Amino acid sequence: MLRARCEVRQTTGLKEADLAARLADADGLVVRSETKVTVAILDAAKRLQVVGRAGVGVDNIDVPAATARGVYVVNAPLGNIVAAAEHTVALTLALLRRVVDADRSVRASEWTRSKFIGRELRGKTLGLIGVGRVGGEVARRAAAFGMTVIAHDPFATEASARAAGARLVELDELVRTADVISLHVPLTEKTRGLVDAAALTKMKPTAVVVNAARGEVVDLDALAAALEKGTIAGAALDVFAEEPLPADAAIRRAPRTVLTPHIAGSTAEAQTNVAVDVVEQILDVLDGRPARFAVNAPRPPAEEAGGMAWLRLAERLGSLAAQLLDDRPAQLSLSYAGSVLELDPEPLRAAAVKGLLETFSEQRVNLVNALDLARSRGLVIEERRETEAARYAALLSVSVGSTQVAGTLVQGEPRIVFIDDFWVDVPVEGHLLLTKHQDKPGLVGRVGTLLGEHDVNISSMQVGRLHPRGEALMILTLDDPVPDEVRARIRAFADINAVRTARLGM
């Protein structure tokens, strides 16, 4: 997929300086978990637009540094969900049924069945620390085994947990009552060392810990000590704080363990899913479209709700408003009316700010860094919400200074429908010529004739007015930019009050 569109260079095992030296002209970078994308790497890759992590976690990427540079960071949060969930169940079964020990025994020519009495999942309580995508899939599979599922997740709602078949509880209750404690959380400062010596002492002596999330969320030394003392009954781990696992790691010698080398997401199906998800997003970014699963940019609205069309409209409204101003704006006001209220406002806000700032900034501006740039420049962003929209079922408005523009989707396509008190119908692509003038016969014709004389082609025309022979707004969509001398001559026409030009989406 990449080679059909890009020049692809593949490298492995490079140190930071060597990798940085190869990225000077790179537009995209794809990494797995072992490659660290640091400030030095990002500084060396001046053209870099997107970093793709072919997996879920992005703790090997300096996301704040990428955001500050307007670089998308994308991952594949859905591609290996099923693989990770199935491996979690496999680890749990292998641990409780002592599969690994029994296998070794048979290979050693033993046949001591009595040594390998296991335990069933049926009737046990599964405690999920994290009930997001992977945790939810584990919960659904646990239900098939007849397990009771409880979960702790500060970001989950009662409804979302219930949909996965879990009941939300406090972390302390989960640790004290669960028979199987399975971790499904990202690595953050709050989750680092979450399962520590204190947590382990609260667990039932028959409890087991399963971790296929991030190695750092479990204190391995404390876990090894608890296993040696018999404080808990076992542990099954696929991830470790240091990988490969050091030869002298205490957990290697701990009893009642199953250890696998970070393979939860390693199925043939997951590898394909992850690769496709990441590549599709990289190509989207390189084509100027936002990524579906960017970890440092707002997610576009769903396609059934208008998707990219709303983002394109918001960006063009911000751009048009900026181009109609004389001075740099100090404040941006957004208004969501009608069914726009059903959309997440964050991507619309970021898109409008992107369009606004691009007019004044030579720095790269996109959905990744638009809001941060706005804050750093002191741009005040205000928002209001109206349940009903004038004239249209949905209306998005952008106001900057004395200029107000608004738009909606017409048969799924973005259109500008309001400019400074005038209702119009204008496409969001092309060169625009806008005139405010007195509505008198012949004026439109004179403007059109002058443009024709200078080989400027008109693709569409709109005239909005408040009442006959009063002030009117004419918007011409053009195939070509208007030369400065032509603009000056139009401004000199009698009854012309103001002339503006704008360029949208080109």
The answer to whether 24 and 44 have CB atoms below 8 angstroms apart is yes
Q: Could you say which of 34, 170, 228, 243 is catalytic? A: 243
Token pair for 227? 């296993």
Q: Is 243 a catalytic residue?
A: yes
φ/ψ of 133, rounded to 5, equals -65, -55
Q: Could you say which of 262, 312, 349, 437 is catalytic? A: 262
The answer to whether 152 and 135 have CB atoms below 8 angstroms apart is no
Alpha helices, DSSP H only, in 98-241?
99-107, 133-144, 158-163, 171-177, 197-202, 220-229
The answer to whether 121 and 97 have CB atoms below 8 angstroms apart is no
What does the CA dihedral 273, 164, 234, 120 come to, rounded to 10 degrees? Answer: -110
Q: Is 437 a catalytic residue?
A: no
Neighbouring residues of 195: CB distance < 8 A, sequence distance ≥ 6: 129, 181, 183, 209, 211, 217, 218, 219, 222, 223
Strand ranges, E, within 305-379: 331-338
What does the CA dihedral 51, 55, 58, 62 come to, rounded to 10 degrees? Answer: -30
One-character DSSP codes across 367-413: TTTHHHHHHHTT-EEEEEEESS-SSSSEEEEEEETTEEEEEEEETTE
Cα–Cα distance, 160 to 155 (Å, whole number): 10
The DSSP output letter for 220 is H
Is the bond preceding 244 in cis, omega lying within 30 degrees of 0?
yes
Q: Using only C-alpha atoms, what is the Rg of the chain? A: 30
H or E stretch covering 183: strand 180-183
Cα–Cα distance, 422 to 464 (Å, whole number): 6
The answer to whether 92 and 210 have CB atoms below 8 angstroms apart is yes
Cα–Cα distance, 268 to 259 (Å, whole number): 21
Token pair for 426? 């204008």
Compute the 3-state secondary structure of the chain and give helix, strand, coil in percent, each to the nearest 5. Answer: 35, 25, 40
Q: Could you say which of 69, 214, 316, 349 is catalytic? A: 214
Q: Is 316 a catalytic residue?
A: no
Q: Is the dihedral of CA 311, 314, 316, 322 positive or negative?
A: negative
How far apart, in Å, are the Cα atoms of 472 and each of 46, 419, 487, 499? 47, 11, 18, 12
φ/ψ of 132, rounded to 5, equals -85, -140
**Would you name the residues annotated as active-site residues?**
214, 243, 262
